[in-house]
Amino acid sequence: MTSEGWGTPPVEPISQHYIVCGGNALAHRLVLELVEHYEVPVVVLVADRTRDHAPQIEQLSGVAAVVEYASVTEEALRAVSIGTARGLALVEGSDQENIHAALSAQNHNPDIRIVFRMFNQRLGENIERLLKNGAALSGSATAAPAFASAALGRPNSVEIEGRYLHIAFDDEITSDRICVVADHIDRQDLGRIRLLPEQQGDSAEFVRLASEFGDRGPIRPGGVRREPAPSDQPAPEEEPGGRAALQVLRIEPREPTDWMRRLRWRLLDTMRFFTSARMRLVLLTALAAVLLAFGVLWYLNRNFGWTVYIALLDLAGAAQPDQLSDISAGTGTGGFWQRVAQVVITICGITFAPVATAIAVEVLGSGRRGQPRNPGAGTRDHVIVVGLGNVGTRVATQLHDMGVPVVCMERDPQARGIAAVRALGIPVVMGDGPFEQQLRRARLKHSRALVAVSGDDATNLEAALEARHGNPEVRVVVRLFEDDFASHFYKTLDNAASRSVSYLAAPAFAAALMGREVRGMLSVLRHVLLIAELKAEDGSGLIGLNRHDLEDPGGVRVIAVRFAHGGQLQWNFPDRTRRLAPGDQIVVAATRSGLARLNTVAVEEGEGQG
């Protein structure tokens, strides 16, 4: 294939459209977000329309055109009408390729909104400064917290100015919740779940009291309760299914780990790193002999300080031996057994020197620090991460930073994540043998969870099933793209969770493409709740709107407000009629369609204001 392009560029002139470059899973989800929730025209640029997700993308209704070019060249950008486009998303290719494409697009259209995927987040922040209207996002960094939290069985959280928002289910919901975010939760039928259902307003309690104390209410003046009249109507039934609510924590929940267990694991693993099994055997045997000889000397001399002194001299090879004349005169140091003990200590001391030299040669000379190592014998209560791609590397790094022991598994010796986890000292099980054997080497029997995040659904499912077969109590978290596949997975296995990287990351990319700042995402089983921060400014369309305008259409909850004249966020601001003024900021919890609808309303209002 050449860079000339094999696809058919848009025949009719097109403008005010959005361009998605890529044919992977993230591109597929992103196109779905744009055409279904934001209802904008999309042109897709793929490298090969017969590979990956390109055929499925081409079948989506709402896609204006699918253009095929081997790379994002100047000619390819002109073919997709970059000069009249409103936004460009680069979600495939290396960091260098995406940077080059972003700068080229800005040269063609200085006002275009550019969102590009970057694994190196620090480099992405620097590139953002070079772009007039750009944002660098990492799909793996966006999704990794959800995988790590699912592995530990605790809620994922999003930090907003020192407070941490998380999702609580059923009995975990407290009275200080912010709002109910889901009901009708049935883990056997995830299609019944309702995100951000209608809720009673802040004045519902006052209306209830007024109805009770009114002329027709059940409570008379003086506090005497009036018996209700009999009714043939059946009592209303409670809503079936569980509930989920958004709550605020003052402190980010940390996974407690016993420090003694962690210290023992570190010591054993460090010893395994510096020495081979044969060297450890020599060292331990010599140490046992020295301790035994030290005990003999102490027993014979009955003086601990003198015994330590003699033992150290013997280890250094500097002890004064008994002379034959001293033995004949009866002035020797202590008899036959003391001389035997001194000889043993001296020989062991001579042994330590070459062993120490061998360790130094093995560590420094052979470069063993640069090789992945297997988990140590003391590894316990750890998380096994299968797959060291972008997502696996992020998950392993986050768990390690939380103080949780991690063991990684990778079949490809050239995987980019091996070097990253090696620098952190995380053990890596290498090889392409059967999963059963690899999991045994990863000490599955002693693990707490397994996270399978390779790029193939079948491989991830195989790893999860083998793990559950080897350890029925282990928690499994699997990366799955297909929703139907994930639904069957939930129904079949307990103590399990599935996440989709593209499903978690695509809403953030779509919102960024529309100029919205998504602070984070919270998982409600297989659904996503977005936490976004919006500012009322000229052209935003938010000026003059109140909570009724924002929330009544559904899919959006205003959870905090910061007024232009005030410095701090006000959580659950009660006045639903106060209109936003220039400079005000709001934090919303929204579904994907809710945030898209809010963006559409804001654009219409902004055009009306203009």
Segment 135-162, tens digit of pLDDT: 999 888 888 888 988 888 877 788 788 7
Lowest mean pLDDT among 171-185, 237-251, 263-277, 494-508: 263-277
The tokens describing 125, both together, are 């922040």
Is the predicted pLDDT of residue 190 greater than 90, yes or no? no
More confident residue, 438 or 535: 438
Which among 32, 17, 18, 38 is positioned nearest to 594, based on CA atoms? 38
Sheet of strand 517-524: strand arrangement: 517-524, 527-535, 585-590, 556-562, 570-571
Buried b (16+ CB within 10 A) or exposed e, 576-595: beeebeeebbbbbbbbbbbb
For residues 89 and 137, the answer to whether their CB atoms sit within 8 Å is: no
Q: 162: buried, middle or exposed (CB in 10 Å: 19+, 13-18, 0-12)? A: exposed
Is the predicted pLDDT of residue 9 greater than 60, yes or no? no
pLDDT at 233: 53
Average pLDDT (518-542) is 81
Is the predicted pLDDT of residue 2 greater than 50, yes or no? no
pLDDT at 607: 52
Lowest mean pLDDT among 75-84, 264-273, 398-407, 525-534: 264-273
Is the predicted pLDDT of residue 87 greater than 90, yes or no? yes
What band does 359 get if pLDDT is binned at 50, 70 and 90? low
Question: Which distant-in-sequence residues (6+ apart) come within 8 Å of 156 by Cβ?
Answer: 145, 146, 148, 149, 150, 166, 167, 522, 523
Is the predicted pLDDT of residue 430 greater than 50, yes or no? yes
Question: Quick count: other Cβ atoms within 10 Å of Cβ 239?
Answer: 11
Q: How far apart are the first and last CA of the chain?
A: 47
Which among 388, 448, 384 is positioned nearest to 154, based on CA atoms? 448
- The sign of the dihedral angle between the CA atoms of 374, 377, 382, 383 is positive
Most confident of 240-244, 368-372, 375-379: 240-244
pLDDT at 439: 93
Helix (H), strand (E) at residue 476? strand 475-479
Is the predicted pLDDT of residue 366 greater than 50, yes or no? no
pTM metric for this prediction? 0.67
Average pLDDT (33-52) is 91
Average pLDDT (236-240) is 51
Which among 147, 156, 167, 188 is positioned nearest to 449, based on CA atoms? 147
Length of the chain: 610
Is the predicted pLDDT of residue 179 greater than 50, yes or no? yes
Please report, rounded to a whole number, the percentage of residues in the chain having pLDDT higher than 70: 77
